[in-house]
């Protein structure tokens, strides 16, 4: 079996296991009992609002993938359409219900807008070599997104337990968090497999586009950047010192750094990931009223 075949088989096995072991969470298993819903809203309302929107917007992400990858490998399509989408949508539905129970408005996800930039990339993607660049960007974005989700749900789980809200920590956040590492693993296996097959101009293009376009998960405009910064503050990622943000960026982008930049021995790792998080935090600090504005909107 060639190396390529082995990687493809590994990916196929991984997707089959995900589908088998992680069906979408059943709504009947969720216990929304809370001792102090007002306090949950006060401490973690913006986090729940942000995460429910991002989870529900996977429906739009699939439209984006259909546009950007006109001819994807069957295993990618199977993963995002049949395994990942139903799991993530259910995360969104469960979190959205939770936020309405603590008195916040229901999520208003954008489920339909595919940007011009992505449609253009899709048109160029009819050239196979360009589509491989888009696929690599998709896997890198996927890794950063899923790591961010794991970190956020871990912090949220701990925070809710500290508030004494065991039911929602155990039946809402823990089951959702359990499904995210499998998504990360998919992108990691796929990214490692594809990177080795790219030519030098493709690698250059991936590095350049990544450096110029990296954004935290769910950030597509200034308002969402402010909101993401607020989420970082609520989850305790921002403790006032820069090294905390640098460590967070490292956790989010460790494999990306290794794949794209490790060959540049002696050169500093590019700071585009940490910079993006710093910008979100600064935006949130400048807009401290966001939480109440979010809750009222």
- By the criterion CB under 5 A, which residues form the site for Fe ion? 55, 88, 91, 146, 180, 183
Distance, in Å, from the CA atom of 136 to the CA atom of 148, rounded to the nearest integer, reads: 18
Q: Which is nearer to Fe ion, 53 or 91 (CB)?
A: 91
End-to-end CA distance of the chain: 57
Q: Which is nearer to Fe ion, 55 or 291 (CB)?
A: 55
Q: Which is nearer to Fe ion, 99 or 131 (CB)?
A: 99
Shortest Å distance, C-beta 218 to Fe ion: 11
Distance, in Å, from the CA atom of 180 to the CA atom of 177, rounded to the nearest integer, reads: 6
Shortest Å distance, C-beta 139 to Fe ion: 13
Shortest Å distance, C-beta 154 to Fe ion: 13
Q: Which is nearer to Fe ion, 183 or 233 (CB)?
A: 183
List of residues 6+ apart from 81 with CB closer than 8 A: 62
Place of tokens 């590492």: 181
Distance, in Å, from the CA atom of 189 to the CA atom of 143, rounded to the nearest integer, reads: 10
Shortest Å distance, C-beta 184 to Fe ion: 8
Q: Which is nearer to Fe ion, 88 or 291 (CB)?
A: 88
Shortest Å distance, C-beta 78 to Fe ion: 16
Shortest Å distance, C-beta 124 to Fe ion: 27
CA 211, distance to chain mean position in Å, is 17
DSSP 8-state class, residue 105 = P
- Among 267, 95, 289, smallest CA distance to 173 is for 95
Q: Which is nearer to Fe ion, 56 or 281 (CB)?
A: 56
Distance, in Å, from the CA atom of 65 to the CA atom of 106, rounded to the nearest integer, reads: 26
CA 117, distance to chain mean position in Å, is 20
Distance, in Å, from the CA atom of 245 to the CA atom of 250, rounded to the nearest integer, reads: 9
């Amino acid at each position: 079996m060639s190396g390529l075949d082995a990687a493809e088989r590994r990916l196929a096995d991984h997707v089959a296991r995900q589908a088998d072991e992680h069906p979408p969470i059943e709504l009947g298993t969720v216990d929304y009992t809370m001792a102090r819903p007002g306090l949950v809203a006060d401490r973690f309302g913006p986090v729940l609002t942000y995460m429910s929107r991002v989870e529900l917007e996977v429906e739009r992400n699939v439209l984006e993938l259909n546009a950007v990858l006109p001819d994807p490998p069957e295993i990618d399509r199977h993963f995002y359409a049949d395994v990942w989408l139903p799991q993530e949508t259910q995360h969104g539905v469960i979190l959205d219900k939770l936020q309405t129970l603590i008195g916040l408005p229901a999520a208003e996800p954008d489920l339909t807008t595919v940007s011009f930039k992505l449609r253009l990339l899709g048109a160029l993607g009819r050239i196979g070599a360009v589509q491989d660049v888009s696929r690599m960007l998709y896997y890198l974005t996927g890794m950063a997104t899923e790591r961010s989700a794991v970190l956020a749900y871990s912090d949220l789980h701990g925070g809710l337990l500290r508030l004494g809200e065991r039911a929602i920590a155990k039946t809402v956040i823990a089951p959702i968090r359990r499904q995210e590492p499998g998504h990360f693993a998919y992108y990691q296996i796929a990214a490692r497999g594809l990177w080795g097959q790219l030519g030098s101009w493709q690698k250059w293009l991936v590095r350049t586009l990544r450096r110029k376009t990296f954004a935290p998960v769910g950030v597509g405009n200034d308002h969402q950047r402010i909101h993401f910064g607020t989420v970082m503050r609520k989850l305790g990622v921002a403790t006032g010192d820069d090294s905390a943000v640098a460590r967070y960026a490292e956790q989010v982008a460790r494999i990306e750094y290794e794949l794209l930049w490790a060959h540049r021995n002696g050169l500093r790792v590019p700071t585009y990931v940490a910079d993006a998080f710093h910008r979100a935090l600064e935006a949130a600090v400048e807009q401290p009223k966001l939480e109440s504005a979010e809750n009222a909107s």
